[in-house]
C-alpha cells in the first residue's frame, strides 16, 4: 500500500486548499456561534451557499456512482477534501449527509430511494441526517426508540440525541427497534422520515465546537412500509460498513485539524519572544514540538492507510481474502483521537495565557478536536473494538 498522493490527488488537494482558504475563515466559527440565537440564517451553523459551491466542484458526489450524479471516485479522494476542510474548521454537513445518511441509502436503500435522494446530495440541493444515537457516547445498538407495526406501516416513538446536522435537514434516516431488546444487534430497522411530519419535535443543539446537532423526539410518528430502508430488523448489516466509512472520513478531518493547530503553534514558537529569546529556541519546547510532529505523522499515515484499505475493499472482486479494513479503521481512529488530544493540549500550553482566550483561534481547534474525538467512538471504544475484532 503506497501512502503518498497520486498526481490527481495532489491536484485535488491544491484546488481544495485554494477554495477553502478563499471561502472559509476560521472566524466564521464565532460568527455562526454568536449569531445563531438571533438570526435564523445562522441557526444551521453552516452555509447552504457554500455547500452548493462545493457540490458544483463535485465534492459532495465524490464517493457516489455516476448514475446518481456522483464522480465515482474513492475515499482517498474524499479524505483529501475533508483534511483541507478540517484545517479551516469549515462546518459543512459532509459527515452527516454524505458519509452517514447518504451512504446508508447507497448501501441499503432500494433503487427508488437512491434515485430520489442521492442526486440531490450530489447537487448540493438536499441535506440528510442519520438519527441513531440516544446517549452521550457512541453505542449504536443501544436503541430504545421503537417502531411498532401498524396496518399501513409503522409508528415510531422515542428520542434521538446529538443528531449531527439534524436541525434543518431535508430528510431523516431514523434507526428504530422493531424487535428484540435494548443492546441487541439484531432487530433494528431504518426508516426515511420527513422532518416536517406530524408528531416530531426537533430542537437545535449547539455542541462544544459550535456545530449543528439536534434533539429529536418521535411521538407515534407514522411512516409507510415504503419508507423502510433495507430489510426489516437488519439495519446493523447496513450500518456497520457505513460507520466504518464515516469514521475513516472523520479521521481525515481530524488530521487536518491537528495539522493546522501544529503548524500555527510552530509559527508561534518561531516568532514569540520571552526572556530576550525566541521561545522556539528553548530545548524543552523543541522536544514537545518534535513529539507533536511525530504524532501527527503517525496519525496521517494510519489515516491514509485506512482510506486506501476502504477503496481496495470496495474495488476488490475476489473472494476468500482476509479483510482487516475494520481493524485498520479502528486503529486509525484511536491513534488520531489521541494525537489530536495531545496536539490540542500542547498547542494551548505553548500559546500560554492568550491561548485560553476566545480571541485566539487555537482554542477553536482544540474544541473541534474534542468533539471529533468522541464522535463515532473515542480512542477507548476503538481499542476495545480492535481487541474484539482480533479475537481477544
Q: Supply the CATH classification number for the domain 236-389.
A: 1.20.140.10
Question: For the chain, where do the domains classified as CATH 1.10.540.10 start and end?
Answer: 7-126
Is the pLDDT confidence value at 392 over 90?
Answer: no
Q: Residue 185 phi/psi, 5° resolution?
A: -70, -40
159 pLDDT exceeds 50? Answer: yes
pLDDT at 383 over 50: yes
Domain span(s) for CATH 2.40.110.10 in the chain: 130-233
Do strands 188-193 and 228-229 pair parallel, antiparallel, or not at all (unpaired)?
antiparallel
| Residue 332 in this model has a pLDDT that exceeds 90 | yes
DSSP string, 34-82: HHTTT-GGGTTSS-HHHHHHHHHTTGGGTTS-GGGT-----HHHHHHHH
**Mean pLDDT within 118-127:** 97
The 10s digit of each residue's pLDDT in 197-252 is: 999 999 998 899 999 999 999 999 999 999 999 999 999 999 999 999 999 999 99
Average pLDDT on 132-157 reads 94
CATH 3.30.70.2740 fits 130-233, yes or no: no
The model scores a pTM over 0.85:
yes
| pLDDT for residue 43 is more than 90 | no
DSSP-assigned beta bridge partners for residue 153:
224
Per-residue pLDDT at 322: 54
pLDDT in tens, 3-18: 789 999 999 999 999 9
Q: In angstroms, rounded to a whole number, what is the distance separating the alpha carbons of residues 33 and 56?
A: 27
Identify the DSSP state of 95.
I
- Multiple choice CATH, 7-126, 3.40.228.10, 3.90.1660.10, 3.40.50.800, 1.10.540.10: 1.10.540.10
Supply the pLDDT for residue 319: 46
Cα 234 to Cα 141: distance, rounded to the nearest angstrom: 12
Task: Give the per-residue pLDDT at 1.
Answer: 66
Q: What separation in angstroms does the CA of 376 have from each of 30, 32, 369, 381?
A: 25, 24, 13, 9
Region 275-288: mean pLDDT is 92
Q: In this predicted structure, what is the pLDDT of residue 320?
A: 43
What is the DSSP code (8-state) at residue 170? Answer: S
- What is the arithmetic mean of pLDDT over 370-380? 96
Q: Which three cell numbers stand for residue 291?
A: 513529539
The percentage of the chain sitting over the pLDDT mark of 70, rounded to a whole number, equals 98
Which whole number is the average pLDDT over 29-55? 88
Measured in residues, the chain has a length of 392
Q: How far from chain centre, in Å, is Cα 321?
A: 29
| Distance from chain centroid for Cα 41 | 23
Phi/psi of residue 79, nearest 5 degrees: -60, -35
The predicted model gives 59-76 an average pLDDT of: 96
pLDDT, the chain, mean? 94
User: How many C-beta atoms surround the C-beta of residue 345 within 10 A?
Assistant: 13
**Looking at the chain, which residues constitute the CATH 1.20.140.10 domain(s)?**
236-389
Higher pLDDT, 44 or 375: 375
User: Beta-carbon neighbour count of residue 249 at 10 Å?
Assistant: 28
Q: What is the pLDDT of residue 318?
A: 41
| DSSP characters over 289-303 | HHHHHHHHHHHHHHH
Which residue reads 464517493 in cell numbers?
63
Give the integer Cα–Cα distance in Å for 131 and 293.
36
Half-sphere exposure of 51 (CA within 13 A, CB side): 24
Q: Any idea which of 28-42, 211-225, 269-283 has the lowest mean pLDDT?
A: 28-42
Q: What is the pLDDT of residues 289-331, one digit of tens each?
A: 999 999 999 999 999 999 999 999 988 744 445 579 999 999 9
First to last CA, the chain: 27
- Cβ atoms of 103 and 243 within 8 Å: the answer is no
More confident residue, 194 or 319: 194
Amino acid at each position: 500500500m503506497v501512502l503518498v498522493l497520486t498526481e490527481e490527488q495532489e491536484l485535488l488537494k491544491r484546488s481544495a486548499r485554494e477554495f477553502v482558504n478563499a471561502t472559509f475563515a476560521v472566524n466564521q466559527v464565532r460568527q455562526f456561534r454568536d449569531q445563531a440565537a438571533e438570526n435564523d440564517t445562522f441557526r444551521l451553523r453552516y452555509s447552504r451557499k457554500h455547500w452548493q459551491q462545493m457540490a458544483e466542484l463535485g465534492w459532495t458526489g465524490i464517493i457516489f456512482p455516476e448514475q446518481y450524479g456522483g464522480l465515482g471516485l474513492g475515499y482517498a479522494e474524499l479524505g483529501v477534501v475533508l483534511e483541507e476542510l478540517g484545517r479551516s474548521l469549515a462546518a459543512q454537513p459532509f459527515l452527516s449527509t454524505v458519509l452517514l445518511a447518504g451512504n446508508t441509502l447507497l448501501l441499503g436503500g432500494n433503487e427508488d430511494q437512491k434515485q430520489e435522494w442521492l442526486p440531490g446530495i450530489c447537487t448540493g440541493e438536499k441535506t440528510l441526517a442519520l438519527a441513531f444515537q440516544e446517549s452521550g457516547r457512541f453505542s449504536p445498538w443501544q436503541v430504545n426508540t421503537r417502531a411498532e407495526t401498524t396496518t399501513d406501516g409503522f409508528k415510531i416513538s422515542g428520542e434521538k440525541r446529538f443528531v449531527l446536522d439534524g436541525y434543518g435537514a431535508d430528510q431523516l434516516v431514523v434507526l428504530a427497534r422493531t424487535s428484540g431488546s435494548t443492546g441487541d444487534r439484531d432487530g433494528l430497522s431504518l426508516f426515511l422520515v420527513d422532518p416536517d411530519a406530524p408528531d416530531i419535535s426537533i430542537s437545535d443543539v449547539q455542541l462544544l465546537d459550535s456545530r449543528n446537532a439536534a434533539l429529536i423526539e418521535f411521538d407515534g410518528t407514522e411512516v409507510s412500509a415504503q419508507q423502510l430502508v433495507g430489510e426489516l430488523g437488519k439495519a446493523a448489516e447496513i450500518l456497520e460498513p457505513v460507520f466504518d466509512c464515516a469514521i475513516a472520513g472523520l479521521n481525515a478531518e481530524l488530521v487536518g485539524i491537528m495539522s493546522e493547530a501544529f503548524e500555527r503553534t510552530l509559527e508561534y514558537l518561531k516568532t514569540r519572544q520571552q526572556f530576550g529569546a525566541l521561545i522556539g529556541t528553548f530545548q524543552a519546547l523543541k522536544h514537545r514540538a518534535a513529539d507533536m510532529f511525530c504524532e501527527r505523522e503517525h496519525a496521517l499515515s494510519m489515516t491514509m492507510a485506512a482510506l486506501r484499505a476502504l477503496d481496495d475493499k470496495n474495488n476488490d472482486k475476489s473472494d476468500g481474502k482476509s479483510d482487516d479494513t475494520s481493524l485498520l479503521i479502528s486503529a486509525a481512529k484511536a491513534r488520531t483521537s489521541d494525537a489530536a488530544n495531545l496536539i490540542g493540549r500542547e498547542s494551548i500550553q505553548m500559546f500560554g495565557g492568550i491561548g485560553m482566550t476566545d480571541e485566539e483561534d487555537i482554542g477553536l481547534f482544540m474544541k473541534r478536536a474534542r468533539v471529533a474525538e468522541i464522535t463515532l467512538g473515542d480512542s477507548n471504544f476503538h481499542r476495545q473494538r480492535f481487541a474484539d475484532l482480533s479475537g481477544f
